C-alpha cells in the first residue's frame, strides 16, 4: 500500500502540467479542445494496457449485473426454502443455498448492487468534502491551510477502518450509516492529494492571469484549479471504491455494518462462517465476488495512474 506521502508526491507529479484553457471563441469554449485532446491521449494509453482493459471489462460486467439484478437473478434474494438449507451447488441452485435455504447466486447478484452503491457513494462523499477542504487549504495556504491540515492529520492518525467502526458504533449500522462512515473515514486522503495538486497549479501563469483580470477566488478554484486536479482524484477514487467495498464488507462481517436480510457480501460471509466445514460454498462464493471486484478495480486504477502520469509522455 502506498503511503500518504507517496500519494501527495504522485498528485504533484500528475498536476505539474495542467491544462491551460485557450482563449474563448464562438466555436471552441475555453479549455474544451485541449481537454478533449488530453482525455483522448489518456484513452489511447489505457487501450495499450491489457491488464487495465481486463479490469475495465470486469467492472463493466459487474455494473451491468447490478443494474439488471432483477432480470438476471434466478430467485429473489429473500426467497427461502427451509427444505434446502446449506445445499451444495446443483442445477436448481448453481452456487448452492445458504443457512436459510436462500439461493447464493441470487444473493451475490443482488449484493453487487449494494456493494457498488456503498463504494461509489462513500467515495463521492470523500471526494466532495476532502476535495473542497484540500482545494481551500492549497489555494489560500497560511493559517487556513494549517487549521485544515492539522485536523486531517489527526484523522489520518486513526486507521480508517477503526474510524469507520467508531462512527457506526455511535450512530448504528444500516446502509446509509455505513456509506457515511466509510466516506468520512477516507476524507483526509483526498484532502491531502487535492492540496498537493492545488499547490502546484496555483503557481502557474494562467492562474495569475485569471487573478489579474479580476476573477473571483471561487471562480478560479472551480473553473481553473479543480479541473486540473482530476487526474490524481480519478486514480485515487478508482482505488478508493475498492477500499470502500472492502471496508463495508469488514463492518458487515463483524456485525456492525449492513444487516441481514440485505444481501451484502460481507454479511453473507459472516452468515456462512459457522458452516465453513459442512457447506464451505456459503462463505466461499461471496468472498470470491469481493476478491474479483477489488482486483478488477485495482487493475483499472493502476492502469489509469499510468495513463494519466505526465512523466510517461514521450
* 103 DSSP β-pair partners: 97
Q: Is residue 179 part of a domain?
A: yes
User: Are 286 and 260 in contact, with CB atoms under 8 Å apart?
Assistant: no
Q: Is residue 103 part of a domain?
A: yes
User: Are 286 and 109 in contact, with CB atoms under 8 Å apart?
Assistant: no
Q: Is residue 69 part of a domain?
A: yes
The closest of 78, 11, 63 to 234, measured between CA atoms, is 11
pTM of the full structure: 0.83
* 298 DSSP β-pair partners: none
Which pLDDT score is estimated for 38? 72
CATH number for 271: 1.10.3720.10
Which pLDDT score is estimated for 9? 56
CA distance 157 to 149: 12
CA distance 69 to 86: 23
Total number of domains in the chain:
1
Q: Is residue 165 part of a domain?
A: yes
User: Are 33 and 287 in contact, with CB atoms under 8 Å apart?
Assistant: no
C-alpha 96, offset from chain centre: 31
Using only C-alpha atoms, the chain has a radius of gyration, in whole angstroms, of 22
CA distance 169 to 69: 31
In terms of residue numbers, what domain contains 125? 59-312
User: Are 64 and 109 in contact, with CB atoms under 8 Å apart?
Assistant: no
Q: Is residue 21 part of a domain?
A: no
DSSP assignment of the chain, as one string? ---HHHHHHHHHHHTSS---PPPP-SSS-TTHHHHHHHHHHHHHHHHT-HHHHHHHHHHHHHHHHHHTHHHH-SS-TT---GGGTTPPP-SSSTT-B-TTS-BHHHHHHHHHHHHHHHHHHHHHHHHHHHHHHHHHHHHH-HHHHHHHHHHHHHHHTS-HHHHHHHHHHHH--SHHHHHHHHHHHTHHHHHHHHHHHHHHHTTSHHHHHHHHTT--HHHHIIIIIGGGGHHHHHHHHHHHHHHHHHHHHHHHHTTSSSPTTS--HHHHHHHHGGGTTT-THHHHHHHHHHHHHHHHHHHHHHHHHHHH-GGG--
Q: Is residue 42 part of a domain?
A: no
Residuewise pLDDT in 10s, the chain (314 residues):
445 555 555 555 555 544 444 444 444 444 445 556 777 887 888 888 899 999 999 999 999 999 999 999 999 999 998 888 999 999 999 999 999 999 999 999 999 999 999 999 999 999 999 999 999 999 998 899 999 999 999 999 999 899 999 999 998 888 999 999 999 999 999 999 999 999 988 888 888 888 888 889 899 989 888 888 888 899 999 999 999 999 999 999 998 989 888 999 999 999 888 888 899 999 999 999 999 999 999 999 999 888 887 554 44
Q: Is residue 45 part of a domain?
A: no
Which pLDDT score is estimated for 36? 60
Q: Is residue 91 part of a domain?
A: yes
Lookup result for grid cell 467508531 = 166
CA distance 221 to 135: 7
Exposed/middle/buried for residue 70 (C-beta within 10 Å: 0-12, 13-18, 19+): exposed
Amino acid at each position: 500500500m502506498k503511503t500518504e506521502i507517496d500519494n501527495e508526491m504522485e498528485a504533484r507529479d500528475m498536476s505539474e502540467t495542467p491544462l491551460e484553457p485557450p482563449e474563448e471563441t464562438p466555436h471552441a469554449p475555453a479549455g474544451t479542445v485541449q481537454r478533449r485532446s488530453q482525455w483522448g491521449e489518456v484513452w489511447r494509453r489505457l487501450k495499450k494496457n491489457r491488464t487495465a482493459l481486463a479490469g475495465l471489462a470486469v467492472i463493466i460486467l459487474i455494473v451491468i449485473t447490478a443494474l439488471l439484478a432483477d432480470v438476471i437473478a434466478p430467485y429473489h434474494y429473500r426467497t427461502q426454502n427451509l427444505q434446502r438449507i446449506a445445499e451444495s451447488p446443483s442445477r436448481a441452485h448453481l452456487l448452492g443455498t445458504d443457512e436459510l435455504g436462500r439461493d447464493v447466486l441470487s444473493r451475490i447478484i443482488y449484493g453487487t448492487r449494494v456493494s457498488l452503491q456503498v463504494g461509489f457513494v462513500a467515495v463521492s462523499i470523500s471526494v466532495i468534502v476532502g476535495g473542497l477542504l484540500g482545494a481551500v487549504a492549497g489555494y489560500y495556504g497560511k493559517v487556513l491551510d494549517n487549521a485544515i491540515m492539522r485536523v486531517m492529520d489527526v484523522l489520518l492518525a486513526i486507521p480508517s477502518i477503526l474510524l469507520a467502526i467508531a462512527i457506526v458504533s455511535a450512530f448504528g449500522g444500516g446502509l446509509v450509516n455505513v456509506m457515511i462512515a466509510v466516506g468520512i473515514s477516507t476524507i483526509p486522503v483526498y484532502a491531502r492529494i487535492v492540496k498537493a495538486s492545488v499547490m502546484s497549479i496555483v503557481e502557474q501563469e494562467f492562474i495569475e492571469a485569471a487573478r489579474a483580470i479580476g476573477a473571483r477566488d471561487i471562480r478560479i478554484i472551480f473553473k481553473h484549479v479543480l479541473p486540473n486536479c482530476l487526474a490524481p482524484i480519478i486514480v485515487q477514487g478508482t482505488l478508493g471504491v475498492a477500499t470502500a467495498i472492502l471496508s463495508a464488507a469488514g463492518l458487515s462481517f463483524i456485525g456492525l455494518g449492513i444487516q441481514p436480510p440485505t444481501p451484502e457480501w460481507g454479511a453473507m460471509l459472516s452468515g456462512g462462517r459457522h458452516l465453513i466445514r459442512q457447506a464451505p460454498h456459503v462463505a466461499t462464493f461471496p468472498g470470491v465476488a469481493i476478491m474479483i471486484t477489488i482486483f478488477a478495480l485495482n487493475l483499472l486504477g493502476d492502469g489509469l495512474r499510468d495513463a494519466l502520469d505526465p512523466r510517461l509522455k514521450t
